[in-house]
Structure 1
Amino acid sequence: AAPAAVGRPGVGAGPGGSGPTAPEPYATAGWLAVETALELLASPLAGVDPADLRRLGRALRDEERAAGNKIPPPSDVLLARALAEPRRLVAHDPAYSKGAQRLGLLLQETRTLLAAGGTAEEALWVLWQGTPWPGRLERAALRGGPAGRNADRDLDAVCALFETAARAEERVGGRGVLNFLEELDAQDIAADTLTRRHTRPDAVRLMTAHRSKGLEWSFVVVAGLQEGLWPDLRRRGSLLEADRIGRDGLAEPLTPGALLAEERRLFYVAATRACDRLVVTAVKAAAEDGDQPSRFLAELGAEPKDVPGRPRRPLAVSALVAELRATTVDPEASPELREAAADRLARLAALTDEDGQPLVPAAHPDRWWGLFEPTRSPEPLRDRDRPVALSPSSLENLVGTCSLQWFLGREVKAAAPATAAQGFGNVVHVLADEVASGRTPADLDVLMARLDSVWDALAFDAPWKSAQEKQHARVALERFLSWHVMDRGGRTPAASEHGFDVTLEAGEYEVRIRGSMDRVETDEHGRAYVVDFKTGKSAPTKDEVAHHPQLAVYQLAVREGALDEVFGGDRPEPGGAELVQLRQAAPKKEGGDALPKVQAQEPLTGEWVGELLATAAGRVLDERFTPSTGQHCTTCSFRASCSARPEGRQVVD
């Protein structure tokens, strides 16, 4: 915050453009520029709407007249003075002056901080915490919808601004607020086409044809010369057509011919910006598709050149570097071509910005990834004479879903930390176990009280998400209680959260299965029936349940003695197993919303489970973990490292 004189820049900036004009009268008011003051008052920091701004301006002019100034300064100048000296606003109606007064006091506090040696980051914190804007953004973000998305975007921008200020202080230290503001102003923000910015003389500039007027370059590209876009013969103007109001009354709207002539003049401006070379591009599609080159293309006096097909690579720096790097190591390329590619890479690697930072760091050989043949250990990771340890829950991932995902998650331990959804499932399983074991009564109010005691420990993205998931947990517990007390074909509880550890024969391998069964029940024939509670949002199909690996392994473990101690030392026969989907309602004919969806698996028949275990054990011992694509890829944490995904191939190929 320092004295400044704001002038109105000329039409062009850069080569061929005119410089700034002289400062206009009243360009500053005290230490605050008039243009800056108006932007601050209209910004979310003050939140003054245009109507209140006009009322305040009129009141300030009336105050000047009452003080004897027959020709007071313009309203915008008086507003800037009032913002620089907020005590002037005390006598005005707070209904329209409160926001300006609050902002003025806040700016004074910020100036005092900066005068005492405060940093740009500290000044930003004063401004941020002293206005109601943070509260408005928070409320909008929590409400969701389009307004919430806009609030999220604004919060991201504010966080980026604070981070930039912090980095500036850490990197340089004590550089001052004006230097920080100059650095921000020099940043290239593509969405803000009106921002005046410093441009490198050897950089490519992107702009509209209107903004190019008065400028010249050696090489100019006019892209997208399509019929319907250029010329654009649609009517201009606003809804009320205020642009037609002139000195002599209401002007007639432009005719199509006049619009065409105006578009042709604009194209002439764009084409004549080139001193040496002009390239004009357009897309020519089939006649029925509609995309056709503009009629202006034929008026250039040169025969257009058709370039069929797509470019051999994306027109981007990263794609160019990738092609050059591949060419330098291509044994089939000629020595001259490889040398030329290496020379171009060296030139790209040598480019730096004003701070000496490389503009194309990927061009330097230090940043290249070497790709060698896959390594193989002379010694296997596992002893083939010892059983392969697997869990029932991981078996489906290893055999049915994706073995690479199993390896990276289970063996490498690279899986993402537990999510709130996993915490949801753990809490519901614990409460179900407490009810089944008799430690907690089968009462919803008691279960909800137990849930409340641990719920805040679960991490959710937002408070509304926590409340939503808590309601889902309540519904899941209601369904569990209804299922718990209902008649389930004469089955009675025998054990809850029963851990087991059995070793099974699977072809030429031995597989050690360790896990825990959510609930074990005895059916009317004395057989063991295994129940597995699920809290996920999706459920397998009927055919998938019939060959569900986890349920099948539970039944196989029962056959091999996993429940002998539960049944008094006798080995029971497996009577089947089922998935109880607590998040999903049963079909209407089976109870509807009050009961969970139950998916049963019949007692095991055939040898398919043993073959499944043998396949899993073989993959683990042979160390063969190839990726498999499917619906699971959408939620996989390892897509960036998977050769079956495009984002993974660009790393390993």
Structure 2
Amino acid sequence: GAPDGGAPDGGAPDGGAPDGDASDGDAPDGPDGATRPDGGPRGQAPTDTHPAPSWLDVETAVALLASPLAGMDPADLRRLGRALRDEERAGGNAVPAPSDVLLARALAEPERLVAHERSYARGARRLGELLRAARARLAAGGTAEEALWLLWDGTPWPARLERASLRGGPAGRNADRDLDAVCALFETAARAEDRVGGRGALNFLEELDAQDIAADTLTRRHTRPDAVRLMTAHRSKGLEWSLVVVAGVQEGLWPDLRRRGSLLEADRIGRDGLAEPLTPGALLAEERRLFYVAATRARDRLVVTAVKAPAEDGDQPSRFLTELGQEPKDVPGRPRRPLAVAALVAELRATTVDPDASPELRAAAAERLARLAALTDEDGTPLVPAAHPDRWWGLAEPTRATVPLRDREHPVALSGSALDQLANTCALQWFLGREVKADAPATAAQGFGNVVHVLADEVASGRTAADLDVLMARLDSVWDGLAFDAPWKSSQEKANARVALERFLRWHVMDRAGRTPAATEHDFDVTLAAGAYQVRIRGSMDRVEADEQGRAYVVDFKTGKSAPTKDEVAHHPQLAVYQLAVREGAVDEVFGGRTPEPGGAELVQLRQAAPKKEGGDALPKIQAQEPLAGEWVGDLLASAAGRVLDERFTPSTGQHCATCSFRASCSARPEGRHVVE
């Protein structure tokens, strides 16, 4: 960070992108003489037919968005600015206005933000609506105090300050100061309203302007007597400590023989005018005096550190080390001791349970942890909370809910896909995703599958013609509602959707061993006996067909990029559940009230081509399951029901781990094992 409290070197002080970095994702201006893409000279803004609003300048808009009223961080501002520029380009503006101008425009017209993702646009939209309401209140003769209350009451800022204030500690004190400042602001607004003139908010602004006093940035903060102090050698003059560490005494850094203020030669300004610049000898003497000041601040013990590289052209200790009267001690290799509090706590914790460590060393590590855990600030807030055993994972006994996950007196409700996940994938993934509802939001791939399924249902039911151009027109009407990572990905997936629909149409009109459609998207809800359990199966069959023997044949469309093997299809839980449901009367209503025999089921892989001997790329890959035989499906249902009722959700590794949302907290994965064990 910058020493004056501003942005780090290279960063923009207003929280925007660093110098030379285009905050909206576009390339920065080229070298001198270059031109912009619209043909204009470098350094001039492109022509914009929609400039920023007259009542809200760009700098104020960006400052408001970064303020607690909107609560947007620099990353949110960049993402929103980039999205607004993409929106402009999509609207036909090849060279959109800069991001900050578009942000100001969006803040003045918050309805423009409705279509953008809430994660980064919510704060800007809320603030824009509040600003509009405040302007309307002032235009209707409202007071500045009323407008301020609209802004204050309409944001989450008051609740955040209240929570921080109640927690106490340094953050609580800061929140108390902020609340005091807000109260003073409202008092000023009320006082300004009492002034004569009938100028409304102008009186309030004049009152604020009259009280504008530059802050004293050099005021020293109160420091605790028992704390470590970090400062420069200049600031240490006149002070003393029992222990002083002078770190980084490297040649080239101390002494630093570069001239000070060389650009404007401010170092030459003296009482009698310009003086001669300091010679290297004078600079060396000044640096030596400064090192003497730093070294003499220690009453009892002085530690001076430096780095010595093996190569002669690497970092070398300062020549001043030889003037301390003692031979420097070489410590080869990296320091073994942790140089941060978190690393120190980790080493102490590891030592307390290390079987190879001596009992004395383990006891000493535990005592040091206890001392760290007992450290608090003046408000009683722990300074090293991670040192306390209450904050350590794995020490507490596993908890168990008093209310069971499922009532044993009622059938266990499962879907075909849930049975597949419990039996063949991972029970823990099913529990965290389905029961805890902690799974990631729907992906673009899932949206792809939903669209294709809906269009297949419309064709089978006769609501939409079995024509590729008609289906693509329907696809175009909803495609923009799917969220993709990039425009090229959207185009690629749209082409894949066209291929999938083309394969579906050819499959739809081909002769399928005399089978005819009986129902599409058929919902069912049946209860099955599975060993000692009752299992309620609910779901939807993509298509039910009747074969020449009057049997029911279930078709399930798939749009994924992978397919099960032949052996996996033979015991595919979801297809087997569909056949069981047919046997239990799930399709009686579409077969004239009778219960048909299940004639089998199949997966139609619309995204994958059939083998050459079965039609090649023009047709989808078909994977059929024969009519059920044996008791393996019932055993599978009983095993899944028992696992749910007994709450045995152990993780299982496999290919599904690559796309699992819970890898970081899964004991079967290396990245999650350190969290839960």
The TM tier, using the shorter chain, reads: 0.5 to 0.7
In the alignment, residue 631 of structure 1 is paired with which amino acid? Q
Deviations 1:445-475 (A, max 9, x none): 2212222222222222333322222222222
Query: Unaligned 5+ residue runs, structure 2?
Result: 5-17, 91-119, 125-156, 161-173, 182-211, 218-231, 237-242, 257-286, 292-302
1:524-580 superposed Cα distances (whole Å, 9 cap, x missing partner): 222211100011111111111111110111112222222222222222222111111
1:104-134 Cα deviation digits (max 9, x unpaired) = xx9xx9xx98899978969x99xx99xxx97
Residue in 1 aligned with 2:331? Answer: 279
Paired position in structure 2 for 1:639: 663
Partner Cα distance (1:380, 1:97) in 2: 70
Name the residue aligned to 1:465.
489
What is the number of residues matched between the two proteins? 462
**Cα distance 1:468–1:546, how it changes in 2: closer, same or farther (>3 A)?**
same
Matching of residue 418 in structure 1 with residue 466 in structure 2? no
Aligned-partner Cα distance in 2 for 1:607–1:363: 56
CA distance in 2, matches of 1:608, 1:199: 80
Partner of 2:584: 560
Segment of structure 1 superposing worse, 342-351 or 627-636: 342-351
Following superposition, the deviation at residue 323 of structure 1 comes to: 3.8
Q: Is the 8 A contact 2:569 2:625 kept in 1?
A: yes
Q: Output the amino acid matched with 2:42.
A: G
Change (3 A) 1:463 1:265: closer
Matched residue, 2:426: 402
Q: Please report the TM-score for the alignment, with normalisation by the length of structure 2.
A: 0.56
SS in structure 2 at match of 1:278: coil
Q: Within 5 A, what are the aligned runs for 1:199-218? A: 218=304
Q: Which amino acid aligns with 1:278?
A: D
Pick aligned residue for 1:343 from 359, 368, 371: 368
Aligned residues of 1:327 and 1:337 also touching (Cα < 8 A): yes
Secondary structure of residue in 1 paired with 2:668 = coil
Q: Which sits farther off after the overlay, 209-218 or 475-484?
A: 209-218
The verdict on how the C-alpha distance between 1:495 and 1:96 changes in structure 2, with shifts beyond 3 A counting, is closer
Matching residue of 1:514: 538
Partner of 1:372: 396
What's 2:566 paired with?
542
Give the partner amino acid of 1:343: R
Offset at residue 370 of structure 1 (A): 6.9
CA deviation digits over 1:60-119, x for unaligned, max 9?
xxxxxxxxxxxxxxxxxxxxxxxxxxxxxxxxxxx999434669xx9xx9xx98899978
Structure-to-structure mapping, 1:70-469, within 5 angstroms: 98-100=41-43, 218-220=304-306, 263-264=311-312, 266=314, 276-281=328-333, 318-325=342-349, 334=359, 337-343=362-368, 346-347=371-372, 362-363=386-387, 367-369=391-393, 371-377=395-401, 380-469=404-493
The 1:595/1:120 distance shift into structure 2, 3 A limit, reads closer
| Closer, same or farther: CA 117–647 of 1 in aligned 2, 3 Å | closer
Please tell me whether the aligned partners of residues 555 and 603 of structure 2 are also in contact (alpha carbons under 8 angstroms): yes
CA offset digits 1:7-36 (Å, max 9, x no partner): xxxxxxxxxxxxxxxxxxxxxxxxxxxxxx
In structure 2, the residue matched to 1:527 is: 551
> What is the SS of the residue equivalent to 1:475?
helix
Work out the CA distance in 2 between the residues paired with 1:430 and 1:134: 33
Contact 2:369 2:387 in 1 (8 A): no
Task: Assess, with a 3 A threshold, how the Cα gap between structure 1 residues 341 and 509 changes in structure 2: closer, same or farther.
Answer: same
The verdict on how the C-alpha distance between 1:496 and 1:219 changes in structure 2, with shifts beyond 3 A counting, is same
Alignment CA distance shift 1:320-1:199 (3 Å): farther
SS of the residue aligned with 2:624?
strand
Counterpart of 1:264 in 2: which secondary structure?
Answer: coil
| 1:477 match: secondary structure | helix
Structure 1 residue matching 2:507: 3-state secondary structure:
helix
The answer on 1:573 being equivalent to 2:516 is no
Q: Residue 168 of structure 2 corresponds to which residue in structure 1?
A: none
Counterpart Cα distance in 2 of 1:487 and 1:206: 82
Matched, 1:490 2:542: no
CA distance in 2, matches of 1:648, 1:100: 51
Q: 1:100 to 1:480 in 2, by over 3 A?
A: closer
Is the Cα–Cα contact under 8 Å of residues 640 and 648 in structure 1 kept in the other structure? yes
Task: Please state how far the C-alpha of 1:615 moved relative to its aligned partner.
Answer: 0.6
Q: Is 1:507–1:614's contact at 8 Å kept on the other side of the alignment?
A: yes
**Distance change >3 Å, CA 456–CA 361, structure 1 → 2:** farther
Q: Which moved more, 1:202-211 or 1:375-384?
A: 202-211
Give the 3 Å change call, closer, same or farther, for CA 178–401 of structure 1 in structure 2.
Answer: farther
Structure 2 equivalent of residue 23 of structure 1: none
Within a 5 Å distance, the mapping from 1:604-643 to structure 2 comes to 604-643=628-667
**Preserved CA contact (<8 Å) 1:500 1:515:** yes
The answer to whether the 8 Å contact 1:209/1:266 transfers is no
**Residues 42 and 219 (structure 1), Cα distance of their counterparts in 2 relative to 1, 3 Å cut:** closer
- Work out the CA distance in 1 between the residues paired with 2:577 and 2:499: 30
Structure 1 CA distance for aligned equivalents of residues 609 and 571 of structure 2: 22
In the alignment, the residues of structure 1 paired with residue 442 and residue 606 of structure 2 have an alpha-carbon distance, to the nearest angstrom, of 20
Q: Of 590, 598, 621, which residue of structure 1 is paired with 2:614?
A: 590
Relative to the length of structure 1, the TM-score reads 0.58
Shift of 1:588: 2.1
Aligned to 2:386, what secondary structure does the other structure show? helix
Q: Residue type of the partner of 2:429?
A: Q
Q: Counterparts of 1:199 and 1:561 in 2: how far apart (Å)?
A: 87
Where does the alignment leave 5 or more consecutive residues of structure 1 unmatched?
A: 5-39, 57-94, 143-158, 180-195, 226-262, 283-306
Q: What is the rounded CA distance, in whole Å, between the counterparts of 1:44 and 1:382 in structure 2?
A: 54
Whole-Å separation in 2 of the counterparts to 1:339 and 1:562: 70
For the residue of structure 2 that corresponds to 1:406, the secondary structure is helix
Instruction: Give the aligned partner of residue 673 of structure 2.
Output: 649
1:601 aligns with 2:630: no
Quote the Cα distance in structure 2 between the aligned partners of 1:409 and 1:41. Answer: 43
Q: What's 1:505 paired with?
A: 529
What is the aligned-residue RMSD (CA, Å)?
5.5
1:495–1:519 CA contact under 8 A, matched in 2: yes
CA contact (8 A) 1:494 1:521 kept: yes
Deviation at 1:334, TM superposition (A): 4.2
Q: Distance in 2 between matches of 1:117 and 1:393?
A: 48
For 1:116 and 1:602, how far apart are their aligned partners in 2? 66
* Structure 2 Cα separation of the partners of residues 382 and 627 of structure 1: 20
> What is the letter of the counterpart of residue 425 of structure 1?
G
8 Å CA contact retained: 1:325, 1:342: no
Cα shift at 1:136:
13
What is the CA–CA distance in structure 2 between the aligned matches of 1:321 and 1:470, rounded to whole Å? Answer: 53
Which stretch shows the higher mean deviation, 392-401 or 581-590?
581-590
Structure 2 Cα separation of the partners of residues 634 and 523 of structure 1 = 40
Q: Percent identity between the aligned chains?
A: 64
- Contact kept? 2:321, 2:328, Cα under 8 Å: no
Preserved CA contact (<8 Å) 2:250 2:315: no
Letter in 2 for 1:651: V
* Partner Cα distance (1:116, 1:641) in 2: 41
Deviation at 1:520, TM superposition (A): 0.8
Distance 1:102 1:549 in 2: 62
